[in-house]
Chains A and B, each alone.
Chain A
Amino acid sequence: MSELTPKVDGVAEAQLEKTTGPWREAWIGFRKSKVALVGAGIVLLFILLAIFGPLLTKEGINEQMMADRLQPPSSEYWFGTDDFGRDIFSRIVHGARISLTVGFFAVVGSIVVGSFLGIVAGYYGRWVDTIISRIFDIMLAFPSILLAIAIVSVLGPSLRNALIAIAIINVPNFGRLIRSKVLSIKEDEYIMAAKAIGMKDFRILFSHILPNSMAPVIVQGTLAIATAILEAAALGFLGLGASAPDPEWGKMLADSKDYLQNAPWTMIFPGIAIMLTVLGFNLMGDGLRDALDPKMKS
Chain B
Amino acid sequence: MSERQKLLQVKDLQTTFFTDSGEIPAVDHVDFYVREGEILGIVGESGCGKSVTSLSIMQLVPSPPGKITGGEILFGEEDLLKKSEKEMRDIRGKDVAMIFQEPMTSLNPLFTIGNQMKEAISLHEKKWSKKQITDRAVEMLKLVGLPRAEEVMKEYPHQLSGGMRQRVMIAMALVCDPKVLIADEPTTALDVTIQAQILKLMRELNERMNTAILLITHDLGVVAETCERVVVMYAGQVIEEAPTQEIFKNPCHPYTRGLIQSVPDMRDKKDRLYSIPGNVPKPGSVKKGCRFAARCESAFARCWEETPQLYRNSDVHQTRCFLYDEQEGVTTKDGQATVES
Binding site for B on A (CB under 8 A): 16, 19-22, 126, 188-190, 192-200, 207-208, 211-212
Contacts and interface: CB of A to CB of B under 8 A. Distances in A.
A22 B93 contact: no
Quick one: which of A21, A208, A212 has the most chain B CB within 10 A? A21
Quick one: which of A192, A193, A199, A208 has the most chain B CB within 10 A? A193
Contact of B60 (A195, A200, A207): A195
Contacts of B64: 126
A197 B120 contact: yes
B106 A193 contact: yes
Interface stretch (B3-11, B107-115, B295-303): B107-115
Nearest to A214: B110
Contacts of B155: 19
17 contacts: A20-B156, A189-B100, A189-B101, A190-B106, A192-B106, A193-B99, A193-B100, A193-B169, A197-B97, A197-B120, A197-B173, A198-B94, A198-B123, A199-B119, A200-B89, A208-B108, A212-B110
Interface string B67-78: 000000000000
B175 to A, nearest CB: 8
Interface in B156-214: 156, 158-159, 169, 172-173
A212 B157 CA distance: 14
A21 B102 CA distance: 21
B97 A196 contact: yes
B92 interface: yes
A55 B324 CA distance: 95
B58 to A, nearest CB: 6
Interface size class of B (residues with CB under 8 A): 35 or more
Interface string B95-131: 0011111100111111110000001100110000000
A91 to B, nearest CB: 44
A22 B106 contact: no
Interface of B: 58, 60, 64, 89-94, 97-102, 105-112, 119-120, 123-124, 151, 154-156, 158-159, 169, 172-173
B60 A22 contact: no
A21 B90 CA distance: 31
A212 B109 contact: yes
Given A190-B107, A193-B169, 16 more contacts: A19-B155, A19-B159, A20-B156, A21-B110, A126-B64, A190-B108, A193-B98, A196-B60, A196-B173, A197-B92, A197-B120, A197-B173, A198-B89, A198-B123, A208-B108, A212-B110
A258 B106 CA distance: 64
Given A21-B156, A198-B124, A189 B58 contact: no
Contacts of A211: 110-111
A19 B113 CA distance: 13
B80 to A, nearest CB: 13
B92 A198 contact: yes
Contacts of B159: 19
A194 B89 CA distance: 11
Given A193-B169, A195-B60, A197-B172, A22 B109 contact: yes
A188 B105 contact: yes
A197 B93 contact: yes
A116 B94 CA distance: 31
B156 A22 contact: yes
Given A189-B102, A189-B105, A212-B109, A196 B169 contact: no
Contacts of A20: 156
A212 B108 contact: yes
A207 B58 CA distance: 22
A192 B60 contact: yes
Contacts of A212: 108-110
A189 B99 CA distance: 10
A194 B64 CA distance: 19
